[in-house]
Chains A and B, each alone.
Chain A
Amino acid sequence: MEPAFVENLKVLCDAIASEGELYIPKKVNSHYVFKLYTSSDDEPVLNEIRVCTPVKEFLFPIRELAAVFPNEYETQDVKPFAVFGLKDCDLRSIEILDKVFSEDDFKDPFYISHREKMFIISSDCTEPAKSCFCCLFSGKTWPDKGFDLNVSPVECGFLIEVGSDKGKKILNKNKQLFKKATPQLIQQRDENRKKADEILTSQNAEYRLNNPAQKVVESSDGSQLFDIEAAGCVECQACTRVCPTCHCFYLHDTELKNYYGKMKMWDSCMRMSYAAVAGGENPRKILSDRIKHRLMHKFSYYMQRYGIDMCVGCGRCIDAESGTMDIRKLLKQLNGELTK
């Protein structure tokens, strides 16, 4: 299906918001966050890079009720909702989470109920951040799958590409709002994409690995680099919270009004007692072991299980870092030790 053209985003947002809640990016200082769209909003801003918070928040809330006792608790009806402004890295992070929560032998009904109701409007990245490194992990500045609709900014408006039947349905339902994209506009979109990809590739040239990341981390036994990284880490755990693919959680039993509840809450493998057992043993009580485990999970264990890396190169961990760690640099240094 040929892309459609629309002059402003408000028209598109109004059409989507008529079907359910719509979350759009809003700039706060130098970052973007998601906010609920209302029809009284001004023309939405198209985010040039990914929103600060990871998309997993929509699918796997920070804290949700997973069971009650003594009564049974099943998933609640999730109303259809739409998220606007997701980038290629976000869509690939959803693919990674899908494999864990909805495609493996045990399925998480809470994740699935959110996932099934989510309508995705992605958009091209026009100005990659200095921390973006998706190009090192098969990503690019524009998505070609995983969306319902994709928005590309062009002169005087936006091109809308359809990626699913759900997306096609919305466009067909609101035909009068859209024009046909001209070949010139499509060419302009392709040039914009190429330009953004070039910026990304060029800023990451120094971090490119000459070995697969899996081999790099699997060959890192005994490396002092993890101790060096640990010295610069303040254990804030922000890297795991903002990471769109990290999905550790813990189950917390609590007493609610007149029943007991089991809450499912985000957790972090960087937390010292994360893997500790009641008897006191803890396989990763040393910080450098936890840093290494996180890398092994992302580039080795997940790869062995699902055949892809568990990192999309969004760079959020680098932006959120309170210490000194830069995952690109660490991989590059480990790669250096391997090729010595």
Chain B
Amino acid sequence: MISHKNPYQPIGAELINIIDESPTIKSFVLKPEKPIIFEAGQFVELTVPGCGEAPFTPSSVPSQKDTMEISIMKAGKVTAQLHEIKKGATLGLRGPLGKGYPIDNFCGKEIYIVGGGVGLAPIRSLFLALVERKKDFVSIVCRYGAKTPEDFIYKKTLFGDWQKIDGVQIKLTVDKANGQWKDNVGVVTTILKPDDVKIANAVAVVCGPPIMMKFATLKLLEFGFKPDQIYLSMEKNMSCGIGLCGHCMLGKYYVCKDGPVFTYSQIKDYPKIWD
């Protein structure tokens, strides 16, 4: 729930660090006036005072309470302004908003995570939350893609520590390789294999650009995943964040309030879900 009586009122958050993740993505480390306790997959509305507000899913682990990290790709007016902002600035935060991943329902299962590009940001939060209690799950199998090796975010951990975690298996791919790249080349669906997980006892989590989510979902269905086994983090124009303003409507759902995490079975019959 929002901590304010006025749901449109942000609280202040000091920008304490900025990390360059890729040529177009930066991570912003924020220290909110008071901790914002969220679940992986929930989102916040980040205000650049006087410029605008935009929705982002934190990339930090929910158990990290005093600070919050948000990875942001330069895409529109607010994000362009954010990329110019210097450490020490005060930004505004509203949240947490929406429904995140139902992690408790994943217990005893294999978790098949498919991510692409900046979609790795919300997945990092989920991944770290899952790793904290990895004994609850049979395995965590990750498949990530980026345009080029430079475009991967969280390179240090993605290429390093995360690969060494027991019970975690990570495979990476790039659309276009450079000289040093030894792994797969191709879109993320080229590293999805039907025997990556035992589908009958698995859930899939897909997050990335809409086109990637579409083809990854179709691939998973082809492998035999049922629509209610596929969890999608939908990107729509979430403005008010509380199911009132109407911008993010996807069929009868307000993505901001009923999502942003949906199972494919919830939304598959609505038109243009990937647009």
Contacts and interface: CB of A to CB of B under 8 A. Distances in A.
A307 to B, nearest CB: 13
Contact of B236 (A73, A221, A248, A275): A275
Q: Which 7 A-B pairs have the closest CB atoms?
A: A278-B76, A106-B242, A255-B50, A260-B49, A248-B246, A66-B8, A301-B252
Contacts of A260: 47, 49-50
Given A252-B52, A279-B75, 15 more contacts: A66-B6, A66-B9, A69-B10, A72-B4, A74-B9, A109-B7, A249-B244, A249-B246, A262-B47, A275-B237, A275-B248, A279-B209, A283-B275, A300-B252, A301-B249
25 contacts: A66-B8, A67-B8, A69-B47, A69-B49, A70-B12, A72-B9, A101-B244, A106-B2, A106-B7, A109-B5, A221-B271, A251-B8, A252-B52, A264-B8, A267-B245, A275-B237, A275-B249, A277-B237, A278-B78, A279-B235, A281-B210, A282-B275, A284-B272, A289-B271, A296-B251
Contacts of A117: none
Contacts of A277: 76, 235-237
Given A105-B257, A253-B51, A289-B272, A74 B246 contact: no
B6 A75 contact: yes
B7 A248 contact: no
Instruction: From A74, A107, A108, name the one whose CB has the most chain B CB atoms within 10 angstroms.
Output: A108
Contacts, number: 133
B21 interface: no
A74 B243 CA distance: 20
Nearest to A253: B52
A248 B237 CA distance: 13
The SS class assigned to the B binding surface is loop
Given A74-B6, A277-B235, A279-B209, A304 B243 contact: no
Contact of A73 (B6, B51, B52): B6
Contacts of A108: 7, 244
A274 interface: yes
Interface in B235-264: 235-237, 239-240, 242-252, 257
Contacts of B235: 277, 279, 281
Nearest to B92: A69
Interface in A55-91: 66-67, 69-70, 72-75
A110 B86 CA distance: 34
A104 B243 contact: yes
Nearest to B272: A283
Nearest to B118: A279
Interface in A233-273: 247-255, 260, 262, 264, 267, 269
A215 interface: no
A100 interface: yes
A262 B247 contact: no
A78 B210 CA distance: 44
Contacts of B49: 69-70, 253, 255, 260
Nearest to B248: A275
Interface of A: 66-67, 69-70, 72-75, 100-101, 104-109, 221, 247-255, 260, 262, 264, 267, 269, 274-285, 289, 293, 296-297, 300-301, 304-305
A250 B239 contact: yes
Contact of B245 (A250, A278, A280, A304): A250
B48 interface: yes
A247 to B, nearest CB: 7
B9 A305 contact: no
B54 A278 contact: yes
B243 A249 contact: no
B39 interface: no
Given A67-B8, A277-B235, A251 B249 contact: no
B53 interface: yes
A251 B248 CA distance: 13
B48 A253 contact: yes
A275 B247 contact: yes
Instruction: From B2, B8, B274, name the one whose CB has the most chain A CB atoms within 10 angstroms.
Output: B8
A3 B49 CA distance: 55
Contacts of A282: 275
Contacts of A66: 6, 8-9
A193 B147 CA distance: 69
B34 to A, nearest CB: 12
Contacts of B50: 253-255, 260
A251 B246 contact: no
Contacts of A67: 6, 8-10
B151 to A, nearest CB: 15
Instruction: From B9, B48, B250, B271, name the one whose CB has the most chain A CB atoms within 10 angstroms.
Output: B9
Contacts of B5: 74, 109
Interface in B1-28: 2, 4-10, 12
Nearest to B250: A283
A269 B249 CA distance: 10
Contacts of A254: 50
A300 B50 CA distance: 37
B79 interface: yes
